[in-house]
Amino acid sequence: MEEQKGKNKMLDKSMLIAALKESFLKLAPRDEIKNPVMFLVYISALLTTLLLGYSLFNIKDGIVTSGFIFSVAVILWLTCLFSNFAEAVAEGRGKAQAESLKAARKNVVAHKVDGITHKKTVDADSASLVKNDYILVNANEQIPADGEVIEGAASVDESAITGESAPVIREAGGDRSAVTGGTTVLSDWLIIKVTQEPGKSFLDKMIGMVEGANRKKTPNEIALEILLVALSLIFLLVTASLFTYSALSASILGVKNPISIIWLVALLVCLAPTTIGALLSAIGIAGMSRLNQANVLAMSGRAIEAAGDVDVLLLDKTGTITLGNRRAAEFIPVDGHAESEVADIAQLASLADETPEGRSIVVLAKKLYGLRGRTINDQHFKFVPFTAQTKMSGVDYAGIEIRKGAADNVAQYVQAAGQKYSTACKQVVEDISKKGGTPLVVTRDHEVYGVIYLKDIIKKGVKEKFADLRKMGIQTIMITGDNPVTAAAIAAEAGVDDFLAQATPESKLKTIREFQAKGHLVAMTGDGTNDAPALAQADVAVAMNSGTQAAKEAGNMVDLDSSPTKLLEIVKIGKQLLMTRGSLTTFSIANDISKYFAIIPAIFMNLYPQLQVLNIMRLSSPTSAILSALIFNALIIVALIPLALKGVKYREVAAKQLLNHNLLVYGIGGLVIPFIAIKAIDLCVSLLLGLL
């Protein structure tokens, strides 16, 4: 993982060199026209270059005029290059990750088998595999294609895809049956049914997305681009009108028109929203790159944007809100028995229980009463395994029968033997359920001794996270299979806004549709086939990489780490993308206002001396003012590239508060910084012009 992140560092030397080369290649008209605002600068640079050629062959224009036009032309070309550089750096980060993924895509030998008997038929090239083929993959062999495990269980190394070195278990049935081409079987064997056609594998999709080849502009991005184009057209009409107006005024006053074409070109470029126009594509690519670095594959830029607008989160309880495994918290005696007696028989009943819950019971008994030295190898112990029918487990030894299990099943067990199931025990069970815990009743020779309190452990810091999300206007809903009483207790302890108890595929789907009907954007995670309908309906659907193929196909994002908590990070990245775009748009428009005060008075002062009052920067000369504004217009793009790629600082506050903060920082900052920077550049330019 660290290696992958290292390849995505923004200031990597080789990446910057490649981006610099790409900046010149992107000067081709077919690339420039993709960005309408910067294409306007591109056309202006071409026009200025043609005017430079004309002035060089026109003696009466003189060296000074040619030098000024040359300076303007160079600055405009640099502006185009800086814009291309911003996009190339953003793309370079994705390409670096794509190269490591391509290394995992190898053409290997696939052992094809019969779909019914599973007997080997022929060895074939992995590139020849098609959907619904069946293949056998043995230990230490690479899985040649995406598919579903239909027989076998094996340890699989997925580090080529996820970057995580720890192997995972993939097996037939359940929600962990999906395998990805390019991963390696470490032990045992698997029979896999191919689920993707050649060239459409999960790895192919990943490479295409991180390279940016499949990146389409999002609706918000298109809408902003339309706004920027409209502003550019307005400024184009304004500039043309100013030229006509100045020519008419000069004719009336009987003087030569002081406004030249080159000055109007400079005015147009300075007034157009070139800053955000140059960085808009880089912001979108960088947002997807940040998501890739978080080990999440987004199937579209639209999904990332939607994550930023999400206001309802559906979160699984297990693994997201709780640690995932209930732990023994207390031994509660009933009917006159001692707590030590309950601990003793509870540990005996749990010696052979390899579940996390069973291990926690053994550990708690050791901790509280020093019960050690018992092992499952004791020949006197005859262990009774847990079954779905009995919902009990235990041990028989020396004529003693010890059991632990669900309250209702234990009640039937003791009553069938003629023993009583006391009201006191019922009350303890009810109290534990109300607290959000799981009660396990323990018995010895059909007599109830007490209850084990298994507690869901809420993850540290989760309550604070939900409070932060609430400040941002995001509603959190816990999804659990627990009964409503247990679900309510856990929801209260975790600090979620609401819960969906005894959740089924139908209830999840219904809940999402109800929220969407009210105008909300809903996000959820899932890993099983039964989650697919709800994932397909959700606006942001994060499927676990460890889950089924149906879940991954239904989602618009895939979490390669299969971490249920990743949804919170995805929302953060989506919001950061929107915040960055909004902040830099505010800064860009504010910049244009400041540049107006620099260049308008400089151009028209000779014709209208009264405009001197607008020259609040006290710039040295019209020539110096124009060059200073153009230089700032180009350099500010380079200065903002790190912010566009990294994103503005994420702040978990309400939308209104965030808007006010951005207006203050990027709005006022966008107004003030150009005044200071252009004045400083003017001093340098005027000094340089004086020396010449």
Q: Closest Cα partner for 206 from 297, 274, 77, 267?
A: 297
CA-derived radius of gyration, the chain: 34
For residue 93, count other CB atoms closer than 10 A to its CB.
26
Q: Closest Cα partner for 361 from 320, 395, 335?
A: 395
DSSP string, 109-134: EEEEE-TTT--EEEEEEGGG--TT-E
- How far is the C-alpha of 565 from the C-alpha of 313, rounded, in Å? 11
Is residue 497 a known part of a binding site? no
- How far is the C-alpha of 247 from the C-alpha of 256, rounded, in Å? 8
Is residue 527 a known part of a binding site? yes
According to DSSP, residue 531 is labeled: G
Is residue 531 a known part of a binding site? yes
Q: How many CA atoms lie less than 13 Å away from 163 in the CB half-sphere?
A: 19
For residue 308, count other CB atoms closer than 10 A to its CB.
22
Q: Which two tokens stand for residue 354?
A: 């390899």
- How far is the C-alpha of 154 from the C-alpha of 187, rounded, in Å? 5
- How far is the C-alpha of 301 from the C-alpha of 214, rounded, in Å? 9
3-state secondary structure 631-646: HHHHHHHHHHHHHHHH
Is residue 388 a known part of a binding site? yes
Is residue 389 a known part of a binding site? yes
Residues in contact with 60: Cβ distance below 8 Å, sequence separation at least 6, in sequence order:
none
Is residue 386 a known part of a binding site? yes
CB contact at 8 A, 585 and 224: yes
> Can you list the positions of beta strands (E) in 406-464?
438-444, 447-455
Is residue 493 a known part of a binding site? no
Residues in contact with 177: Cβ distance below 8 Å, sequence separation at least 6, in sequence order:
148, 149, 150, 170, 171, 548, 549
Bridge partners of residue 400, in order along the sequence: 397
- How far is the C-alpha of 508 from the C-alpha of 520, rounded, in Å? 15
CB contact at 8 A, 282 and 645: yes
- How far is the C-alpha of 592 from the C-alpha of 445, rounded, in Å? 86
Q: Which amino acid is at 548?
A: T
Q: Which two tokens stand for residue 578?
A: 């929107």
Whether 316 is a known active-site residue: answer yes
Three-state DSSP state, 9: coil
3-state secondary structure 544-592: ECCCCHHHHHHCCEEECCCCCCHHHHHHHHHHHHHHHHHHHHHHHHHHH
- How far is the C-alpha of 498 from the C-alpha of 495, rounded, in Å? 9
Is residue 391 a known part of a binding site? yes
Residues in contact with 643: Cβ distance below 8 Å, sequence separation at least 6, in sequence order:
580, 584
Q: Where are the alpha helices (DSSP H) in 254-354?
A: 261-271, 274-293, 301-309, 339-350
Is residue 357 a known part of a binding site? yes
For residue 156, count other CB atoms closer than 10 A to its CB.
25
Is residue 387 a known part of a binding site? yes
The residue annotated as part of the active site, out of 157, 316, 559, 682, is 316
Is residue 205 a known part of a binding site? no
According to DSSP, residue 568 is labeled: H
- How far is the C-alpha of 316 from the C-alpha of 565, rounded, in Å? 9
Q: What angle do CA 627, 630, 633 make, to 5 degrees?
A: 150
Three-state DSSP state, 688: helix
C-alpha of 242 from chain center: 47
Is residue 445 a known part of a binding site? no
- How far is the C-alpha of 440 from the C-alpha of 453, rounded, in Å? 7
Q: Which two tokens stand for residue 190?
A: 């698997």
Q: Closest Cα partner for 683 from 617, 612, 591?
A: 617
Residues in contact with 673: Cβ distance below 8 Å, sequence separation at least 6, in sequence order:
591, 594, 636
CB contact at 8 A, 439 and 451: yes
Is residue 392 a known part of a binding site? yes
Residues tagged in the binding site annotation for Mg(2+): 527, 531
What are the binding residues? 353, 357, 386-393, 404, 527, 531
Residues labelled as active-site residues: 316
Provide the annotated binding site for ATP.
Answer: 353, 357, 386-393, 404
